[in-house]
Amino acid sequence: MVVRLRLAHTADLEPAELDAARALLDEAFDGGFSDDDWDHGLGGMHVLLRDRSGLAAHGSVVMRRLRHRGRWLRTGYVEAVAVRPDARRTGMGGRVMAELERVIDRAYDLGALSATEEGARLYAARGWQQWGGQVHALSPDGIVRLPEEEGGVYVRPALAGPLDPAGELVLDWRDGDIA
């Protein structure tokens, strides 16, 4: 199987490439990938894997700010990771994540993501750590706790060094799902 990998910023992707990525995400998430979810994955670096049948896998990393122990960290936040259903269990998800992790490790203090149950296995196997502490967001009304996100956030310390789960993570605010 011949696979081509492309790493590109949103601004460098052709409209047809963005359309193909969105279609892949809609298919992979059975129509449960919202416009806000799509918006969260834009404005950063995208990994696109193509095989003979077309776009087989996608993922992106965008910059966010997360506060931990009083320090705001430049965070590479992983978004929009999906593999075409017929290409699953072939290593494509791992190849996408390896490239995203390379970007995170070289450009950010911290990597973070919010995992589905299916995705959590991939991230944990790659050394991402499930965040065991509290998760908050800096909302328009101040800092609010997000207990529904706790247990689903994974981190990759990168340049920040070890994190203290006794401390909270505070995510910057955005529309749609916060984490």
The domain ranges of the chain are 4-171
Residue 39 confidence (pLDDT): 97
User: Is the pLDDT confidence value at 179 over 90?
Assistant: no
Residue 160 confidence (pLDDT): 66
| Strand, helix or coil for residue 44 | coil
Options 1.10.150.120, 3.40.630.30, 3.10.100.10, 3.40.50.2300; CATH of 4-171: 3.40.630.30
Q: What is the pLDDT of residues 34-59, one digit of tens each?
A: 999 999 999 999 999 999 999 999 99
Q: What is the pLDDT of residues 60-111, one digit of tens each?
A: 999 999 999 999 999 999 999 999 999 999 999 999 999 999 999 999 999 9
Residue 143 confidence (pLDDT): 94
Q: How confident is the model at residue 166 (pLDDT cuts 50, 70, 90)?
A: confident
pTM for the predicted model, two decimal places: 0.94
Highest mean pLDDT among 9-13, 28-32, 88-92, 141-145: 9-13
Q: CA 47 to CA 78: how far, in whole Å?
A: 11
Q: CA 162 to CA 94: how far, in whole Å?
A: 23
| Strand, helix or coil for residue 66 | strand
